[in-house]
Structure 1
Amino acid sequence: MEKFIPLSVPNLKGNEKKYVDDAITQEWVSTGGAYITQMEKAVAEYVHTPDAVACQSGTAALHLSLICCGVNAGDEVIVPTLTFVAAVNPVKYVNAEPVFMDCDDTLCMDMDKLERFCLEECEMRAGKLVDKANGRHVSAVIVVHVFGNIANMEKLMDLKKRFGFKVIEDATEAFGSYFKTGAYAGKFAGTIGDIGALSFNGNKIVTTGGGGMLISQDAKILDKARYLSTQAKDDAVYFLHNEIGYNYRMTNLQAAVGVAQIERIEEFVAIKNTNYDNYVKNGVKLYPFRDDIRSNRWFYSYLTDRRDDLIKYLGDNNIQSRPIWHLIHDLPPYKNSRAYRIEKAQYFWERVVNIPCSTNLTADDVNTVSETIMRFNETAKV
């Protein structure tokens, strides 16, 4: 039987077992323990923020981000339609309303359309950006750095200054990506806006099985997020809680895995880049990343007019692949939400196929996938 080549699976060949065994030996397995603090410190040092807050998931980090940014019930939050639904659902958690924005050629949010929306569909009232169609305050933008690319943050931060909304960076796919040039040279994805969210889900470049991290340059935001993530304890002995809190803390066992993973982050990025380049050398025309960033190249995108046929063909050859996410504004829970000039996102939804990209993908695996795609393309000529 042919070897099965998965889409994206963890690489756990470092100190993961050693650290987990240590946590178990110490009997610190829940939401307290030294590995949580160690992981927060490691992430903060890596992305150059004053601290970081470990969470149960990237989704939890986004939920806390909206609260810490002061998004209120009835507000509007601008979000991409081309993303995983977890980037948008937290808007509903705080009883706000999403406004869906198109993507540009990076697969990230189209900042030119965002600017037009702010100028043409909104107006400033008492220092706040207000949607003229319904009077809602546009209080935040969630920008997603798709597949390890980075959105046009220079334009977005300029719009933030002009219109006063908060910027939340969903960097759950872009841990390790940073700008090489420009106003934000050296800045990592997730560290430019008000708050950033990372994910350590099983398919991410660094994993804790499940888990996430909230990062920010603002120490007050980090303190607030940590407070809310631990049930808003004002007195842990006498159980005093002055606010609604959440059970959003990462466990020490997860963090033990994460500490070992972060030790290898640059190795993982190098492998992702090497495998991407080898696909291209083999003739597989993968969708490019921005030239002005060092991308982690988390996911590889292949564009084809025969999306479903290719996915089936790869599956028949024991190779896992998938389409890009279904556009969120078309999903049943969001059918009645505002969507602004969605065009390119539809194009990519119909054509993108993600192909195997794990950090334990071998050169032979890359060759096998490449040869299979080439054979598929030959079938179109027959």
Structure 2
Amino acid sequence: MTNQTALAGDIKDRLYHFLGAPEGFVPLHEPEFRGEEEALVTDCIRSGWVSSVGQYVDRFETDIAKVCGTRYGVAVVNGTAALEVSLRIMGVGPGDEVLMPSLTFIATANATSHLGAVPHFVDIEERTLGISPKALKAHLEKIGERRDGSVYNRETGRRLAAVVPMHVFGHPVDMNGLNAVAAEFGLQVIEDAAEALGSLYGDKPCGGLAPIAALSFNGNKILTTGGGGAIVTNDETLARRAKHLTTTAKQPHAWAFRHDEIGYNYRMPNLNAALGVAQLAQLDTRLAQKRQLAQAYLEAFSGHPDLQVLAEPEGARSNYWLNALVLAPHAAAARDTILETLNGAGLMARPVWEPLHTLPIYADAPRADLPVTMDLAARIINVPSSAHLVGALACPA
């Protein structure tokens, strides 16, 4: 039986040792502006190009596509919008089911629900926290029924339209395995790369591992545009449709307002894109700092009897967006005591998201057995992960 108070104190002391005792509260992940952000935003204001048209939107779309190893990028107002539009242009519609992890930020499910489709939760694997290809295949073989060129859920009668892998905390999912299962069952793949900018699966960037992907640049991400997201793809037809839909589906014309379908006012403003351009110029430095910080966590807790630090999966290179402590099963009951101790000591810590199938709004959604999801959800603690924290490593308290 683990002494919960002693374990919490030990974790706090180890964090103090290599991060230093905080003078104020240390956030989980805070935005950093150390480049040309102010100059580029000021240029927008002075030029008057502050809304959804401007040179920085075009430049940001080109730059973000390059980082993801894709040909096209479409900048939008947030990651949820990017997911919704990606799902829609990949053929997901009302009444369809979309397979996804239950252990994900709620945007993955909400984007599906906004289209009138239904989230369908599947289990994850411990090494990535992402969808398990093995569990997905077993579930599809159990509930899937092939007819009319598609696969249907024989329990609900609804079409299984797509699968949305999500790279949790920046750790790449087993995309080769998932893409193979998706191809076998005729499912579209929409990559939720909201947390994985700069992560590599093998030598391929996250965001370029499926026909289409969604990114987020919220204030807590590895780089930020304030609020914002992007759709990236190698398919010109998909890119054109994404840009059309997110620009209110307005047909090009010198003066007429002609719209050919129900679209969205989802384009990213030039002001936000200016922030993004400046932030992208710092991405390589930010990634190096994040990996240095992650290494410090790994070393600080190496061999710990009650927990381990979540490390990047073999064959991948993670951006380590958020560092995570994974408690051993025998220490799981100490989670809330650890959270209370760390937050009380000025070090922001939080549990992973509540599994979505446990929320009342998604309690009736179809799902597979989720033993790994439920086990890990009770044992994960995120700890301070801002890139600038590496500055404390040279002079530990």
Query: Normalised by the shorter chain, which TM-score bucket?
Result: over 0.9
Match of 1:81 in 2: 102
Whole-angstrom distance in 2 between the partners of 1:160 and 1:279: 35
**Structure 2 residue aligned with 1:95:** 116
Shift of 1:354: 0.2
Q: Does 1:192 align with 2:213?
A: no
**Are 2:244 and 1:227 aligned?**
yes
Matched, 1:54 2:75: yes
Does 2:224 correspond to 1:207?
Answer: yes
Q: Distance in 2 between matches of 1:322 and 1:52?
A: 32
Matches within 5 A, 1:297-376: 297-304=320-327, 305=332, 306-364=334-392
* Equivalent residue, structure 2, for 1:122: 144
Task: Name the structure 2 match of 1:22.
Answer: 43
Contact 1:235 1:241 (8 Å CA) reproduced = no
C-alpha deviation, 1:234, in angstroms: 1.0
SS in 1 for 2:387: coil
TM-score where L is the length of structure 1: 0.92
Q: 1:276 to 1:367 in 2, by over 3 A?
A: farther
Code of the residue aligned with 2:96 in structure 1: it is D
Q: Distance in 1 between matches of 2:390 and 2:311?
A: 21
In 1, Cα distance between the equivalents of 2:323 and 2:50?
35
Between 1 and 2, higher relative CO (CA 8 Å, sep ≥ 6) is seen in 2
2:294 matches 1:276: yes
Structure 2 alignment gaps of length 5 or more:
1-21, 303-307
- The one-letter code sitting in structure 2 at the alignment partner of 1:47 is C
Deviations 1:124-169 (A, max 9, x none): 1121011111221101111101111111111111112211110000
CA contact (8 A) 2:292 2:390 kept: no
Counting matched residue pairs gives 364
Whether contact under 8 Å (1:62, 1:170) holds in the other structure is: yes
Q: Which residue number in structure 2 is paired with residue 292 of structure 1?
A: 315
Deviation of 1:96 after TM superposition, in Å, equals 0.8
The SS at the match of 1:62 is helix
1:377 corresponds to: none
**AA at the equivalent of 1:165:** L
Q: What letter corresponds to residue 138 of structure 1 in structure 2? A: L
Q: How far did 1:235 drift?
A: 3.8
Percentage identity across paired residues of the two chains:
37
d(CA) in 2 for partners of 1:286 and 1:155?
Answer: 25
Aligned residue identity for 1:241: H
Question: Which residue number in structure 2 is paired with residue 376 of structure 1?
Answer: none
Worse overlay, 56-65 or 228-237:
228-237
> Which ranges in structure 1 are unaligned for 5 or more consecutive residues?
181-185, 372-382
Partner of 1:13: 34
Q: Which runs of 4+ in 1 moved over 6 A?
A: 365-368
Partner of 1:142: 164
Rounded to whole Å, the distance in 2 between the matches of 1:283 and 1:194 is 38
1:108 aligns with 2:130: yes
Paired residue type of 1:189: C
Q: State whether residues 111 and 156 of structure 1, in contact with CA within 8 Å, keep that contact through their aligned partners in structure 2.
A: yes
CA contact (8 A) 1:279 1:367 kept: no
* 1:218 pairs with 2:235: yes
Per the normalisation by structure 2, the TM-score is: 0.89
Q: Does the CA contact (< 8 Å) of 1:143 and 1:169 recur in 2?
A: yes
Note the C-alpha offset of 1:363. Answer: 4.2
Q: Deviations over 1:214-252 (max 9, x none)?
A: 001111101000000000001442110010010100010
- Alpha-carbon offset, residue 2 of structure 1: 3.1
Report Cα offsets for 1:252-305 as digits up to 9, x if no partner.
010000000101111111100000111222236411111201111111110232
Which whole-Å deviations, capped at 9, do the CAs of 1:166-224 have from their partners, x for residues lacking one? 000000000011123xxxxx221121212100100001001001100000111110100
CA–CA separation in structure 2 for the residues paired with 1:29 and 1:327: 39
Q: In the aligned structure 1, how far is the partner of 2:391 from the partner of 2:296? A: 8
Does the CA contact (< 8 Å) of 1:275 and 1:366 recur in 2? no
Q: Summarize the Cα distance change of 1:129–1:366 in structure 2 as closer, same or farther, 3 Å threshold.
A: farther
Secondary structure of 1:78's counterpart equals strand
Report whether the alignment pairs 1:265 with 2:286. no
Deviations 1:10-58 (A, max 9, x none): 1111111111111111111111111000000111122221110000001
Residues 282, 367 of structure 1: 8 Å contact kept = no
Q: Is the counterpart of residue 176 in structure 1 residue 195 in structure 2? A: no
* Corresponding residue of 2:62: 41
